[in-house]
Amino acid sequence: MLQDRRILLDGLIFPEGPRWRDGKLWFSDLFAHQVMSVDLQGNAEIVVEVPGQPSGLGWLPDGRLLVVSMTDRRLLRLDPDGLAESADLSQLASGQCNDMVVDSPGRAYVGNFGFMIVSPPPDPIPPGEIILVTPEGAARVVADDLAFPNGSVITPDGRTLIVAESLGACLTAFDIESDGSLTRRRIWAHLEGHTPDGICLDAEGAVWVASPESFQLLRVFEGSRVTHRLEMSRKPYACMLGGAGRRTLFLLAAETADAEEARTKASGRVEIAKVDVPGAGLP
């Protein structure tokens, strides 16, 4: 299933939110406050600096980049003259904003931690929400009571959203209504013993799941059947299928998610491997 695995890019701080577009992998190096891109030859460049710490990425139908700004809980848009605010989510998101997926009409589904980073963290951890942001910047909560909603995918027909609940050890699915609302919530897969983080979808309907605390990348079908387990030497935080025919699996990993330790170690890397089943859906 996995062939020709190798390191594409090393020396990053904490890479997250990978997306494939225009022959490159785009991703956020969170603690470096940078959105970056890298081609399949390993040539990397900084796309934009995001002071509020970038996370989820996506594009509007007109090609403008959307970036989640985590600490100030905003969705930003990269216009020709620089970053602009698409939506202020601070009154809707109960915690720091995180990953997102953008659908074909340009509607962004943004998750959040459910809490703001403090030490010690709240006990119990409060639930988070998924916020829908339209291309015009209107925002509303479309799902709540989620245990750290993280990576998300949308099926090729545009009718189902699957989100990783990192602290719920599961993948949760919703129907997407014509107005973007999320309905018919159900458990798509139970992943006990794992912390599902970033995810991507393949053409057989399986989801690749990065699970940092178990040092594994899983391939799982609806109903919780796991077909592949890839052991990682560093914690995998995100994954993406791209490249020619979307048959390259990108693995984003680092030794730690602690900001200060991550900056000291610079252990973040992007690995790649060839797969038999190509990617599908969004992102």
Condensed to tens digits (0 to 9), the pLDDT of residues 107-133 reads 999 999 987 775 566 778 889 999 999
- Tens digit of pLDDT for each residue in 79-107? 999 999 999 999 999 999 999 999 999 99
Cβ density class 154-186: b for 16+ within 10 Å, e for less: bbeeeebbbbbbbbbbbbbbbebeeebebeeee
How many CA atoms are closer than 13 Å to the CA of 64, on its beta-carbon side? 21
Query: What integer pLDDT is reported at residue 121 of this predicted model?
Result: 64
Query: What integer pLDDT is reported at residue 120 of this predicted model?
Result: 65
Q: Do the beta carbons of residue 149 and residue 129 sit within 8 Å?
A: yes
Query: What integer pLDDT is reported at residue 118 of this predicted model?
Result: 57
Query: What integer pLDDT is reported at residue 87 of this predicted model?
Result: 98
- Please enumerate in sequence order all residues whose Cβ is within 8 A of that of 156, keeping only pairs 6 or more positions apart, or say none: 280, 281
What residues are paired with 240 via a beta bridge?
A: 250
Cα distance between residue 256 and residue 198, in whole Å: 15
* pTM score: 0.96
What distances in angstroms separate CA 248 from CA 43, 44, 98, 241, 273, one per listed residue? 17, 17, 24, 6, 6
**CATH number of the CATH domain containing 183:** 2.120.10.30
> Does residue 181 sit within a domain?
yes
Report the domain count for the chain. 1
DSSP code for 87: E
Residues in the chain, pLDDT under 50:
none
Query: What integer pLDDT is reported at residue 125 of this predicted model?
Result: 81
> Does residue 240 sit within a domain?
yes
**Residue among 227, 190, 225, 232 at smallest CA distance from 210:** 232
> Does residue 282 sit within a domain?
no
DSSP code for 112: E
Expressed as residue numbers, the domain containing 133 is 2-275
